[in-house]
Structure 1
Amino acid sequence: MRYSTLFALSSIIVGFTPANVDHSPVTTAFKAPVYQELPLGAVKPKGWLLHQLQIMRDGSSGHLDEIHNKIKNDNGWLGGKGDGWEETPYWLDGAVPLAYLLNDAVLQQKVLRYINWTLDHQRPSGYFGPLTKAEREKNIAITVNNPEAGEDWWPKMVMLKVLQQYYTATNDARVIPFMKKYFQYQLQVLKKCPIGQWTEWATSRGADNALIVQWLYQQTKDPSLLELAAIIQRQSYPWTNWLGNRSWAIDAATQQDDHQWMHRHGVNVGMGLKDPAVNYQRTGDRRYLDSLHTGFHDLMTLHGLPMGIFSADEDLHGNAPTQGTELCAIVESMFSLEEIIGITGDIRYMDALERMTFNALPTQTTDDYNNKQYFQIANQVQVKKGVFNFSLPFERGMNNVFGLRSGYTCCTSNMHQGWTKFTSHLWYAAEGQGLAALTYSPNEVTAKVGKQQQPVTIREETAYPFDDQVQFIFQTQGTATFPLQLRIPSWCKEAIITLNGQPLRRDKGGQIITLQRTWKNNDQLTLQLPMEVTVSSWGRNSRAVERGPLVYALKLSERWEKATDEQEGSYFSIFPEGAWNFGLLEKSVKAPAANFSVHKDKPVTADFVWNLEHAPVSITTTAKKIPAWQLVDDVAPQPVTTREGTYKGPTSTEEETITLVPYGCTKVRIVAFPVVR
């Protein structure tokens, strides 16, 4: 598999037993991130990415508090008795960056209601959050002497991420003292009320808590914060141990019962990916990074799917193309990768982030961003009510359809952080007062650079990931001397870089390059990343067609049907128009360049939407139908192949031309193809 190759070297660890990683504090120095995050709002979306965020603002991201009763009614984060757990912070974790990325005053005022209430109602002890049952009914003050009168640590972890983003956008002077006070409270009471006092969700997600503690340490250098972060990590799930211990990923592939199921819960895993990096940041112990490399390699080998995410329906569930993936698992894995990238500077996670973002993310919401799909399937030949081969068979069968409230509504509230945080992490501050472009999309960044801290704006114009050119246009007053770092993706054999139309350099893929020079106003730097069609191997001897960061899927016309469920409201089913049971020809798989044709069908305009109508690139090839490949229990189980990877059963004698389009533009599709002769 592609990820097996990508991470093969990293999984060879000399003299280190991953299972023996110690969660206790290590007496080595705190490691500053390789790349520092820029303040929220320093990066502004442009082009198709701006349109995507505008759709979100006009749809559920900007109005969830009006259309989702759980947040709308008597909200606990506004002092009411309603939602006081995760869904309101989840929504804000995407709505806050959206408000400041778009500089939208209306949305800023909306999210400020919740931020202001939270900041203004911190208890004298440092505790914060919605009023607890003990406070409301017994008028009990929550202090360090009775922390058990408080409530779950977990939703506070999400709200801390909200406040951290808000602070970088506004420098609101209330935030840092608020966090100091709360973390001092935590430090004093965690022995009596540990992270798992109320729910196992908090135990599984403690790395999110430690992440913000260590962010505050970078602002204040208060050593007690490192002590607190170490305590939180010791009381939380030992994700570092599990990721480094290969039996964890193997066991998760074989066990689907209720025994320790939260250890393999896909969203927990997505959040837990950052745990080794957070531990490394606090300690400087590189064994944590070795554990991360091993764990991510094993995770994607045993559970990985072509669109760049692992199965999570809800548990890790192997690599069959008919397994599902929860939307929350995607956006949480993206955030973990963004944090891992900043802390480690490792290009492998940058490649993984783009693959996940441009393939898995866009397909799981409707064009207007008002409906989501709880579970997506790689080979998804229909979208309908049903139980399917998932480890969480809801009795109402609503996990696969598109609706605002279909499945669990955690994803309804949490999906908003995907595109917004990806946008804010397109650029990072780099060593030498420079800037680093580590993932690519149309945007504009403004920052102070170089020894003179000179302001510079760089406009990034591109149709990436559909096109292979990224152009950077510099706006400075006079000249600005600073290093610019660019990622050359691992899938690119050789990048071509020109400056003002003149050749500058060529660089092999799989590295970060640094351009140290004096930049002038209106300089135009062009990064060309030639994209070749390749074929990668995935579960059950299937093959996926790729070009650059995109995976391509069979184009099927879609028939949408709207219906209503009594408990979960309106929803959409989607059915294919046309045959889907094709196998790729063996000759095409062996020689992609000669047998796949790339077509630039239409430009990527400012009104681009991830759907079939707007798909700007297609790939054609010839294929044969497999008559015996049919639906079984409403899914399309992969045909059995030989060890050599070919299907030996009857196929149609006629070769037909099929069209492939970017996976993210599809709702029904085949992406993991059998191979036929």
Structure 2
Amino acid sequence: MNKVKNFLSNIILLGLLVNGILLCSCTGSTNEEGDDLDGSIDLVDKPDQNYTNEFYISNRAPLKPSAFIKLPVSAIKPKGWLLEYLKRQQNGLTGNLGKISAWLQKENNAWLSADGKGEWGWEEVPYWLKGYAHIGYILDDPEIIDEAKIWLEAAINSQREDGNFGPVRHFGDGSQDFWANMIMLYCLQSYYEYSSDQRVINLMTDYFKYQLTVPDEEFLTHYWQRIRGGDNLHSVFWLYNRTGEAWLLDLAKKIHRNTADWTGRGHDLSDIHNRKEIREGLEWPAWYGDLIDWHNVNVAQAFREPAQYYLLSHDEKHLKASYDNFDIIRKHFGQVPGGMFGSDENSRPGFDDPRQGIETCGIVEQMNSNEHLLRITGDVFWADHAEEVAFNTYPAAVTADFKALRYITSPNMVLNDDQNHNPGIDNSGPFLMMNPFSSRCCQHNHAQGWPYFNENLWMATPDNGIAAVIYSASEVSAKVGDGTEVTITEISNYPFEEDINFKISSTEPVMFPLYLRIPAWAKAAELHINGEKMKKNLQPGKYVRIDRTWNNGDKITLKLPMELNLKTWKNNHNSVSVNYGPLTFSLKISENYIRKESDETAIWDSKWQKGVDTKQWPSFEIHPASPWNYGLVLQEDLKSTFEVNRKAWPENDFPFTTDAVPIALTVKARKIPAWKIDEYGLAGELKDSPVWSEEPEEKVQLIPMGAARLRISAFPVAGKQDNAHRW
């Protein structure tokens, strides 16, 4: 009798299942907060690294497991303002540099010659190629892809019998300069991701075997390569994850022990080999020994090396060292808005005002480092910081048409001209104007900024999921779950708007986890799935993991309400900066562009190809056409202090200009008459706030910092109170 009952029960249960009454995919499950959904919603610090992604190459043991996994270079297509930016770069300096830069001319170029010798060819070719080829892959531009392949084929064909490749460059002591090859390896890795060309694997294998034979005393000698060995280390791990050859880990150890000591503290001043300078009247502070180098690009690029080596060492001190390196430079020179620090060329004790700036090279290298560290750690911090730099500092370093760039860009910058501003800034010469030919490093290295940013918007996760880690309108196609390829379209004008919309496209239902980053500044984020608000409390600084069966047409909206925030820089005279969500705001200064001829205003090492019409590539001074010397009048209630003004999105999809920017703030301010352009042609250094001002209150406009190529971003606070200081 019991057997009959059990049989009938099973028949009934089967019927219920077939009709979908008990199927979770039809009725949904309920989480602990009452959300009716198919699957689960959780908040996590990072993806679970106990899994291994089945479809994308991640870290192979004994390397620490990947937190995030980079997708192939062409998997992510930009949309919105990022697409417009890449098109401007494609049609501007990056896309045309091969036709105008002497360093990229094919005649007598060491990268193209059979014997690796030539007048032209060091870091400039691979610097440019990192971004140039990427733009071709991302935008499916056959002309760029074909041109890039000329250089890539030459690099592959340059390999010699001993495994070495590239230009033949040696120092006076006979040791090799490996630096330019480190950059070219980046280019070859991207090309492999695009093409699956096995020759890249073969070249890198033979080259790394050659590096393993070089005695330590002859390996990574001299300045640039010794400081930047982390780039070589990255490529070794990249190859190891694809081939699993154990000897590559021996090379990784060798690279680390011969790279400058970015974990060390208290270095002797003589061990710091960048050019050093200190303000007159000061003595070298003890903390200056806490970094092995203070050159701005080296810090932005190489501070991450210990965290990279942590993948192999598993020693937490290496991971901590990179976080500490980040903090040290900002404690002493980064008390400024925009995410960077004031080094000009090199950080100088006593020069920490927000009028000190950063090379364009330093900006794009910082973004690249953030993207590396995000993949290594999964820490939301690095994604937040990548956005801070990308949205607020980088856009102002180039002209809106992307046909000229500035060597030095500062948070407080009210005049760009062709004059020498040293010793106000560390560089002697016309380093502040927009010039397509000046600054041969940044002229080429700027190219990586937006293409690398684009390829790191989305990442695969160890549990066969996908994560939106940095936000911008885009479309990603990736294998997830059981191997089904899905396409996710991200629709948004972020960071200028609060809502980020996602749409799933899939030929069949597929279960996989989707991760969305909750920025640290987003205090009241909301998640909506197919129009229904989820009740999950989205904690800032976490990822929301949505694990469910996704269907074609499913829609997700992440709402990130922006709030006003005032940052006081206590170590920089109590100046303040104004944030609204991920955007930092600057005074809107009318910009007067004055055309100059590039061949008359470029710096000493500028060189262009024979026959180039330099008049087609002019330079520009930018002069202020409105007052800039304001202090803000603040009230305790920020909503009463600032009025948020929005206007229509620009038709050309480019919001990074003073006129087109779709959001602005109105605030009361007073002029500070004693704050003037000083004898060095720079905005006078800040004084302690609050600052006494009897000038009448005026209403001024603040615009996003990235749209302001002239700007005051660190403001004095104006007042008449008893504790106000006379300027």
Could you say which TM-score interval applies, normalised by the shorter chain? Answer: 0.7 to 0.9
- The answer to whether residue 631 in structure 2 is matched with residue 583 in structure 1 is yes
> What are the equivalent positions in structure 2 for 1:438-449 lying under 5 Å apart?
438-449=469-480
Query: What is residue 398 of structure 2 aligned with on the other side?
Result: 365
**1:418, distance to aligned residue in structure 2 (A):** 0.4
How has the CA–CA distance of structure 1 residues 216 and 558 changed in structure 2, closer, same or farther, with 3 Å as cutoff?
Answer: same
Distance 2:368 2:589 in 1: 31
Q: Give the one of 236, 245, 270 matched to 1:213.
A: 236
Instruction: Name which of 297, 302, 306 aligns with 2:332.
Output: 302
* Match of residue 717 from structure 2: 675
Structure with higher Rg: it is 2
TM-score, normalisation: structure 1: 0.88
SS at match of 1:490: coil
DSSP 3-state at the match of 2:515: strand
Provide the rounded CA distance (Å) in 2 between the counterparts of 1:301 and 1:545: 19
Question: Which residue matches 2:444?
Answer: 413
Q: Residues of 2 paired with 1:96 and 1:186: CA distance?
A: 26
The answer as to whether partners of 1:312 and 1:329 remain within 8 angstroms in 2 is no
Distance across 1 between alignment mates of 2:545 and 2:586? 35
The one-character-per-residue Cα deviations of 1:201-257 (angstroms, maximum 9, x if unpaired) are 111110000111011111111111111011111111111225999xx99x9998479
Q: Aligned runs of 1:611-650 on 2, under 5 Å?
A: 611-633=657-679, 634-641=681-688, 645-647=689-691, 649-650=692-693
Structure 1 residue 315 corresponds to structure 2 residue 351 = no
Shift of 1:387: 3.0
Deviation at 1:82, TM superposition (A): 3.0
Choose which of 512, 515, 523 in structure 1 pairs with 2:554: 523
User: What do you get for the CA RMSD once the two structures are aligned?
Assistant: 2.6
The answer (yes or no) to whether the contact 2:276–2:346 under 8 Å persists in 1 is no
- Which amino acid counterpart does residue 193 of structure 2 have in structure 1? T
CA gap 1:105/1:390 in 2 versus in 1, 3 angstroms: farther
Distance 1:391 1:560 in 2: 23
* Alignment match, 1:279: 309
Cα contact 1:617–1:662 (8 A) shared by 2: yes
Aligned to 2:486: 456
| Secondary structure class of the residue paired with 1:350 | helix
Say if 1:239 and 1:276, in contact at 8 Å, map to a contact too. Answer: yes
For 2:201, what is the secondary structure of its paired residue?
A: helix
Q: Map of 1:25-104 to 2, 5 A cutoff? A: 29-74=62-107, 75-79=109-113, 81-104=118-141
2-structure distance, mates of 1:155, 1:121 = 14
1:472 to 481, 498, 502: 502
Within-5 A mapping of 1:429-444: 429-444=460-475
Distance across 2 between alignment mates of 1:465 and 1:546: 12
* Matches of 1:626 and 1:32, distance apart in 2: 55
**What letter is aligned with 2:258?**
Q
- Residue from 631, 639, 662 that aligns with 2:704: 662
How far off is 1:360 after superposition? 0.8
1:130 to 167, 183, 186: 167
Opposite residue 493 of structure 1, the aligned amino acid is K
- The answer on whether the counterparts of 1:48 and 1:604 sit within 8 Å (CA) in structure 2 is no
Aligned to 2:197, the other structure's residue is in SS state coil
Instruction: Map 1:447-596; keep pairs closer than 5 Å.
Output: 447-450=478-481, 452-504=482-534, 505-538=536-569, 539-564=572-597, 565-566=599-600, 568=602, 570-587=618-635, 590-596=636-642
CA distance in 2, matches of 1:598, 1:615: 13
Query: 1:545, 1:552 within 8 Å by CA — same for their partners in 2?
Result: yes
**Separation in structure 1 between the aligned mates of residue 331 and residue 293 of structure 2, nearest angstrom:** 18
Give the Å deviation of 1:158: 0.2
**Partners in 2 of 1:623 and 1:543 — Cα distance?**
13
Change (3 A) 1:567 1:533: closer
1:124 counterpart letter in structure 2 = E
CA distance in 2, matches of 1:253, 1:473: 53
Q: 5 Å matches for 1:346-361?
A: 346-361=379-394
Residue matched to 1:423: 454
Task: State the SS of the aligned residue for 1:181.
Answer: helix
The separation in 1 between residues aligned to 2:378 and 2:181, in whole angstroms, is 28
Shift, 1:370, TM fit:
1.5
Partner of 1:164: 189
Change (3 A) 1:256 1:446: farther
Q: Show the counterpart of 1:401.
A: 433
Instruction: Give 3-state SS (helix, strand or coil) of 2:198's partner.
Output: coil
Q: Work out the CA distance in 2 between the residues paired with 1:428 and 1:282.
A: 22
CA offset digits 1:468-493 (Å, max 9, x no partner): 11101000012111111111000110
Kindly tell me: are residues 201 and 484 of structure 1, through their superposed partners in 2, closer, same or farther at Cα, counting changes over 3 Å?
A: same
Shift of 1:193: 2.2
1: distance between equivalents of 2:146 and 2:423?
41
Contact 2:358 2:409 in 1 (8 A): yes
CA contact (8 A) 1:47 1:606 kept: no
2:643 match:
597
Residue aligning to 2:17: none
> After superposition, what is the alpha-carbon deviation per residue over 1:295-317, rounded to whole angstroms, capped at 9, x for unaligned?
21222222112011112210124
Aligned equivalents of 2:421 and 2:498: distance in 1? 38
Cα distance, 1:394 vs. partner? Answer: 4.9
| Alpha-carbon distance between aligned partners in 1 of 2:90 and 2:512, rounded to the nearest angstrom | 35
SS in 1 for 2:656: coil
Q: Provide the C-alpha distance between the structure 2 equivalents of 1:253 and 1:298, rounded to a whole number of angstroms.
A: 17
Contact 2:102 2:120 in 1 (8 A): no
SS of the counterpart of 1:467?
Answer: coil
SS in 2 for 1:78: coil
Separation (CA, whole Å) in 2 of partners of 1:403 and 1:456: 43
In 2: Cα distance, 1:285 partner to 1:621 partner: 49
Per the alignment, residue 607 of structure 1 pairs with 653
Map of 1:140 onto structure 2: none
Instruction: Provide structure 2 residue ranges, at least 5 long, that are not aligned to the other structure.
Output: 1-60, 603-613, 720-727
Q: Partners of 2:384 and 2:174 in 1: how far apart? A: 45
Matched-pair contact (CA < 8 Å) for 1:460–1:473: yes
Q: Matches of 2:620 and 2:502 in 1, distance apart? A: 41
